[in-house]
Amino acid sequence: MSSDEIDMGFYCNHKAMHMVKISDRLVIYGPVIMNSEVMVYKGNIEEKQVLGIGQERKHILELIQDSYSNIKESKEMIPAALPYTLENDQIDIAAIDVTKAVLLPRYNFAAISKDDYISYCLVVRKDLIGTEIFDDFLDNYNKAAEELNKKETLISAFGMTREFWDMVNIKFLQL
């Protein structure tokens, strides 16, 4: 792995790093989505102490701990379990992907961090890079990213208010 890939790995999830480490055929091509997690809770966020977070999202946990000093404990679990454990008071705040927020309309939402952070990276087979089919993929991906960066597209596709999307500040990055 190059030093760029190692540096990128700090920001990419454990699964992406694991894939690259176990196969020299793969490379982290680049970050693709920023700011795609949101805090979900009831009541006053300053009173929340027990955070539920998806497995292997250590960099997200570090961002939350930097932003919310009231968080005293974290429980790592499969992401699908977060709404259930929140609803049953096993945790009192959860970090979830924004696409799941629409499933929790009775809750409040807050940004994970005031600063931008990388949520997802693209892992690619090295032999595909530079091929016509991969270049076509990049063109189509970049068009989709441009469209998804429009708040109107997000509101239409996922619901939630403009204020929600402004607060989350999700960004689809060009490759």
Instruction: Report if residue 87 sits inside a domain.
Output: yes
pLDDT at 16: 74
pLDDT at 103: 87
CA proximity to 150, closest of 138, 160, 162: 162
pLDDT at 83: 92
Alpha-helical segments (H) within the chain: 3-11, 14-22, 58-67, 82-87, 98-101, 132-148, 151-158, 162-168
Domain ranges, residue 41:
36-115
pLDDT category, 8, cuts 50, 70, 90? very low
Q: pLDDT tens digits, residue range 133-158? A: 999 999 999 999 999 999 999 999 99
pTM for this entry: 0.84
Instruction: Report if residue 152 sits inside a domain.
Output: no
Distance CA 29, CA 119 (A): 14
Instruction: Report if residue 151 sits inside a domain.
Output: no
Mean pLDDT of 69-87: 94
Q: Provide the domain count of the chain.
A: 1
> Is it the case that residue 56 has pLDDT exceeding 50?
yes
Q: Which amino acid is at 109?
A: F
Mean pLDDT of 60-80: 93
Distance CA 120, CA 14 (A): 10
pLDDT at 1: 31
The CATH number assigned to the domain holding 57 equals 3.40.190.10
